[in-house]
Amino acid sequence: MKAKLNYSEKLGKISKYIYGQFAEHLGRCIYEGVYVEDDSVPNVNGMRCDVVNALKELEIPVLRWPGGCFADDYHWRDGIGDKESRPYMVNTNWGGVVENNHFGTHEFFELCEQLGTEPYICGNVGSGSVREMRDWIEYMTFDGDSPLANERRRNGREKPWKLKFFGIGNEAWGCGGGMRAEYYADLLRQYSTYLKDYGDEPLYKIACGADKRDTDWTDKVMKSVGGRMSAISLHNYSFERDWDHKGSSVDFDEHGWYSNMASAYLMKETIAAHKKVMDENDPDGKIALIVDEWGDWYDVLPGTNPGFLYQQNTVRDAVAGMMTLHIFHENNDRVYMANIAQMINVLQAMILTEGDQIVLTPTYHLFKMMKGHMDGERLALDYDEKPYDTDNGKAVKISMSASEKDGVITLSACNTSLTDGEDIEIELSGADAKNASALVITGEMNAHNTFDEPDNVKPENMVVTLSNGVLSFKLPAKSAAVITVK
């Protein structure tokens, strides 16, 4: 395949926040995954050193917390102060387990500080109140003399935290209250009125958005709420086939591979549908689209708690993940943030843990390889995606994206074919390119890392040549590669 990259045609910044993460009080994501209460696993203030060190390599730009569905059942006051006095609760959304509230606001900011990431907190609309939400903001961000700010000080934090991203409810149409769009939009107007800016930076208010292709929700919320919000969210998961046929995360066949690729590729159509509605309501593009939950969702691993959403992660997830990230890049005029679900031990995770062991997943390696795109300028790239049909919809054989940052070109390319590699030649028009190197994730379609074999899937060097301004490489079947050109 011949392709052309035009170095002088810049198509806007690829926001680093597209590489955001999500950590919910769900299964073993927070407890065991990130936070431990005894010293059997080395930790700093409860945060696992092995997990934090591995995640730091990803330079995570933003972390969403505490949910998800959990957010609308979460009362922040239960998670502050002396740990032994914090009330217990039942996590009704996720397995009915007891939540001891030992990981609360202070612990979340501690985690963000250790990771060097920005916080994104999702507030409770479903079972909370306007007062509860406005108080939380004051508790976290007010520097002056107020009962709430002083309570924060008594709990060990003198200075306010820096908090920009705040979500007003989660899945209000479902676990967040079963609301109609009209009702939620009215609540959003009310809640956002009372969320004040205490710090230098205004709060970036994120409205609860639609499920998949429910553009009616986006339309109604935008019409009613308009400039009272900075962004509206969207949740769009992919499955082996669909919600009722999620499939196994490891034991799948060719059909499961292609059907999942089609499910992931649907993100393109989904974003296009919401963008159309957003363009009609907000022609100046002031309100962003934030895909704050996405990723591959399969059946839980046999023998694990069905409420814990624990699954494996294979080469299939790395390839589908790259294709999805490219769709976000292509829509960088609206998509400002995305948060893969979820960071540890849940759904399409970066890391799996078992006791004091951790394993890095193919998706972890993908995110590490893609870092060059964060805040890069997207470059025009002409190529043929080679679309094909599956019995679960359309997919593409090749997906590519390129960006430039500090004079370095990052080019990512994935191949969804199980059988056919692709010889690719890219003319680098206008670029003063001197050398190129490449890493690739590939292997058997269901290859994955385990605690016994943690390096089954990891980035390997890929041969790439640069001659007379043309970049040439063979992209293997079932692969995701990142090429760096300097």
Q: Which residues are catalytic?
A: 171, 293
CB nearer to ligand AHR: give 7 or 65.
65
Residue nearest to ligand AHR (CB): 68
CB nearer to ligand AHR: give 170 or 260.
170
Residues 85-144 that bind ligand AHR (CB under 6 A): none
- Shortest CA distance to 378 belongs to which of 18, 1, 60? 18
Residue 128 corresponds to which amino acid?
G
- The residue range among 64-72, 127-135, 277-285, 448-456 that interacts with ligand AHR, by the rule CB under 6 A, is 64-72
Rounded-to-integer distance, Cα 12 and Cα 426, Å: 21
Asked whether position 68 contacts ligand AHR by CB under 6 A, the answer is yes
- The residue range among 2-10, 67-75, 132-140, 415-423 that interacts with ligand AHR, by the rule CB under 6 A, is 67-75
CA 124 to chain CA centroid, nearest Å: 20
CB nearer to ligand AHR: give 12 or 178.
178
CA 223 to chain CA centroid, nearest Å: 27
Taking residues 229 to 248 in sequence order and writing x for each that binds ligand AHR by CB under 6 A, - otherwise, the string is ------x-------------
Q: What is the largest CA-CA distance in the chain?
A: 69
Residues 424-443 that bind ligand AHR (CB under 6 A): none
Residue 386 corresponds to which amino acid?
K
- The residue range among 65-73, 149-157, 193-201, 445-453 that interacts with ligand AHR, by the rule CB under 6 A, is 65-73
CB nearer to ligand AHR: give 18 or 300.
300
Q: How far is CA 329 from CA 6, 362, 370, in A?
A: 16, 20, 12
Taking residues 23 to 42 in sequence order and writing x for each that binds ligand AHR by CB under 6 A, - otherwise, the string is -x------------------
Q: Which two three-digit tokens encode residue 346? A: 């849940």
Q: Which two three-digit tokens encode residue 79? A: 């998670």
3 state SS of 205: strand
Which residues, in sequence order, are bridge partners of residue 123?
Answer: 168
- The residue range among 6-14, 113-121, 250-258, 339-347 that interacts with ligand AHR, by the rule CB under 6 A, is 339-347
Collect all residues with Cβ–Cβ distance below 8 Å to 427 and sequence separation of at least 6.
Answer: 2, 3, 4, 5, 469, 470
How many residues make contact with ligand AHR (CB under 6 A)? 11
Q: Which two three-digit tokens encode residue 110? A: 């501690």
Taking residues 277 to 296 in sequence order and writing x for each that binds ligand AHR by CB under 6 A, - otherwise, the string is ----------------x---
Rounded-to-integer distance, Cα 49 and Cα 117, Å: 16
CB nearer to ligand AHR: give 24 or 107.
24
- The residue range among 104-112, 266-274, 340-348, 466-474 that interacts with ligand AHR, by the rule CB under 6 A, is 340-348
Spatial contact of 237 and 68, defined as CB atoms under 8 Å apart = no
Rounded-to-integer distance, Cα 444 and Cα 448, Å: 9
Least distance CB 347 / ligand AHR (angstroms): 6
Count of alpha carbons within 13 angstroms of residue 248, beta-carbon side: 12
Rounded-to-integer distance, Cα 213 and Cα 235, Å: 9
Token match 């202070």: residue? 106
Taking residues 292 to 331 in sequence order and writing x for each that binds ligand AHR by CB under 6 A, - otherwise, the string is -x--------------------------------------
Which position among 105, 114, 117, 170 is part of the footprint of ligand AHR (CB under 6 A)? 170
Least distance CB 384 / ligand AHR (angstroms): 35
Gap between the terminal Cα atoms of the chain: 23
Least distance CB 440 / ligand AHR (angstroms): 29
- The residue range among 129-137, 157-165, 219-227, 341-349 that interacts with ligand AHR, by the rule CB under 6 A, is 341-349
Q: Which two three-digit tokens encode residue 271? A: 């974003």
- Shortest CA distance to 353 belongs to which of 363, 339, 343? 343
Least distance CB 306 / ligand AHR (angstroms): 13
Binding site for ligand AHR (CB under 6 A): 24, 67-69, 170-171, 235, 293, 341-342, 347
